[in-house]
Amino acid sequence: MADLHLIIDRTAGGIAGQITHELRQAIRHGRLTAGARLPASRELAKDLGLSRGVVVEAYERLVAEGFLISRVGAGTVVAPAAGGHPAVPGRDRVTSSPGPCPEPRATCPDLTAFPRARWLAALRAALAGLSADALDYGDPGGVPELREELAAYLRRVRAADVVPDNLVIVGGVAQGLSLAVRTLHERAVAGGHLPGRPSRRGARPAPSSARIRLAVEDPTGPRQLPLLHAAGADPVAVPVDEEGVDVAALAASGAQAVLLTPAHQYPTGVVLSPRRRAELIEWAVATGATILEDDYDAEFRFDRDPVGCLQGLAPARVILLGSVSKSLAPGLRLGWVAAPPEIAEAIRRARAELDLGSPVLEQHALAGLVRGGVYDRQLRRMRREYRVRRDALVAALAEHLPEIRVRGVSAGLHLFAELPGGWDEPSAAAAARDCGLAVEPVAPMRFAPGPPALVTGFARLPAHRAHEAVRALAAALLR
Identify the residue with better confidence: 357 or 169: 169
Query: Please, is 23 exposed, middle or buried when counting C-beta atoms within 10 Å of its C-beta (0-12, 13-18, 19+)?
Result: buried
Q: Which of 442, 466, 458 is nearest to 409 (CA)?
A: 458
Same-domain check for residues 349 and 410: no
Partners of 76 in beta bridges:
38, 70
Of 341, 372, 403, which residue constitutes the final position of a domain? 372
Of 336, 351, 372, which residue constitutes the final position of a domain? 372
Asked whether the predicted pLDDT for residue 238 surpasses 60, the reply is yes
Task: Please state whether the predicted TM-score (pTM) of the whole model is above 0.85.
Answer: no
Same-domain check for residues 309 and 387: no
Asked whether the predicted pLDDT for residue 11 surpasses 80, the reply is no
Same-domain check for residues 414 and 366: no
Same-domain check for residues 142 and 217: yes
Same-domain check for residues 232 and 279: yes
Mean pLDDT of 427-437: 92
Same-domain check for residues 287 and 362: yes
HSE at residue 364, side-chain half, CA atoms within 13 A, is 19
Same-domain check for residues 299 and 424: no
Same-domain check for residues 19 and 149: no
SS3 content of the chain, % helix, strand, coil (to 5): 45, 15, 40
Q: Are strands 167-170 and 75-78 parallel, antiparallel or unpaired?
A: unpaired
CATH number at residue 7: 1.10.10.10
Same-domain check for residues 408 and 343: no
* Structural domains counted in the chain: 3
- DSSP string of 353-378? HHTS-S-HHHHHHHHHHHHTTHHHHH
Flag whether 406 is in a domain.
Answer: yes
CATH number at residue 170: 3.40.640.10
CATH number at residue 392: 3.90.1150.10
Flag whether 104 is in a domain.
Answer: no
Q: Which structural domain, as residue segments, surrounds residue 186?
A: 137-372
* Sequence-ordered list of residues with C-beta below 8 angstroms from that of 299, at least 6 positions apart, any chain: 326, 327, 379, 383
Query: Please, is 453 exposed, middle or buried when counting C-beta atoms within 10 Å of its C-beta (0-12, 13-18, 19+)?
Result: buried
Backbone φ and ψ for 167, nearest 5 degrees, come out as -115, 130
Same-domain check for residues 357 and 215: yes
> What's residue 200's pLDDT?
37
Same-domain check for residues 392 and 291: no
Mean pLDDT of 131-137: 91
Asked whether the predicted pLDDT for residue 205 surpasses 60, the reply is no
Same-domain check for residues 343 and 419: no
Backbone φ and ψ for 2, nearest 5 degrees, come out as -70, 135
Flag whether 116 is in a domain.
Answer: no
Flag whether 229 is in a domain.
Answer: yes
> What's residue 116's pLDDT?
94
